[in-house]
Amino acid sequence: MNHNDPTPFLRIEGVHKFYGADHILRGIDLSVRRGEVVCILGRSGSGKSTLLRTVNALEPITAGRVILDGSLIGYIEKGGCLYHLPAEELARQRARIGMVFQHFNLFPHMTVLENITMAPQLVLKQTRKAAEAQAMELLEKVGLADKAYAYPASLSGGQQQRVAIARALAMRPELILFDEPTSALDPELVGEVLGVMRQLASEGMTMLIVTHELRFARDVSHKVVLMHEGRVAESGPTSKVMSAPRTPAAKTFFSTLT
């Protein structure tokens, strides 16, 4: 990990997103260095999840660009115009970017092991044996080695989310996106998921996290980004932004939550 490297690994440049007449993202600029943990904070409806989904082209953008390690995500540029990447190339790009969703999105008809091994076999062309060996290592990492042959319905929400993290890690991503990974969990299960995320941060995983967990953001992230009405209201080193916010939107947000 070298989050002192000034070169951005991920660059979000002038990103706008419209849904019909609704202007959801209003010119977002954001950079993330390799090995950096960045938490995106803000009230519901501020555009946080939409922004996250533009990073791996789950949401097409209206204007701007997203660049990962020098490569334009989701598009190819020709003659100054952007064109959507073919599906196969987009899948290759997405393999570099893991994503953990709010509602787990595990396949209910597959065992935990099958959920984790499917994409490495299909996308990375791993053998079943190699994919299963890797999956068992990851299940050990997230504390669920004994659940390999269980089905998602038999697991708690916290266990399902830890499986979802293992599934994302199975693709050996260079960046992992977390979209409010604990907001669907009962309070007593939140800690087990945050514990896995803390471990990933300590190992140098580059992470972009939409979260309402302010203590986690304060303890683990290198940088926080506060979004307000589709814009970045304030961003910077976590300790500075959370302890001495400068903008009115940031001051209001942190004063009502501390």
Q: In sequence order, what are the residues at sequence separation of 6 or more whose Cβ sits closer than 8 angstroms to the Cβ of residue 170?
A: 116, 117, 119, 120, 131, 134, 135, 138
What is the CATH number for 188? 3.40.50.300
pLDDT per residue as tens digits for the range 49-67: 999 999 999 999 999 999 9
> Do 159 and 73 have their domain in common?
no
List helix spans (H) across the chain: 48-55, 87-94, 112-122, 128-141, 157-169, 187-202, 214-220, 238-243, 248-257
Q: What pLDDT shows up at residue 257?
A: 64
Amino acid (1-letter code) at residue 16: H
Q: Are residues 69 and 114 in the same domain?
A: no
Domain boundary among 154, 171, 188: 171
Judgement on whether residues 161 and 195 belong to the same structural domain of the protein: no
156 near 31, Cβ under 8 Å? no
- State pLDDT tens for residues 89-124: 888 888 899 999 998 889 999 999 999 999 999 989
Question: Does residue 3 form part of some domain?
Answer: no
Q: Are residues 241 and 118 in the same domain?
A: no
Q: Are residues 91 and 109 in the same domain?
A: no
Residues 62-85: pLDDT tens digits? 999 999 999 999 998 888 888 889
**Does residue 13 sit in the same domain as residue 92?**
yes
- In-domain check, residue 26: yes
Q: Domain check: are 187 and 166 in the same one?
A: no
For residues 47 and 158, state if they share a domain. no
pLDDT at 251 over 70: yes
Domain boundary among 171, 201, 226: 171
The mean pLDDT value for 245-257 works out to: 88
Given 130, 149, 171, the domain boundary residue is: 171
Q: 197 and 156 in one domain?
A: no
Is residue 73 a contact partner of residue 56, using CB atoms and an 8 Å limit? yes
Q: Which domain holds residue 148?
A: 105-171
Residues 182 and 131 in one domain: no
Same domain, 245 and 190: yes
Q: State the total domains in the chain.
A: 2
190 shares a domain with 72:
yes
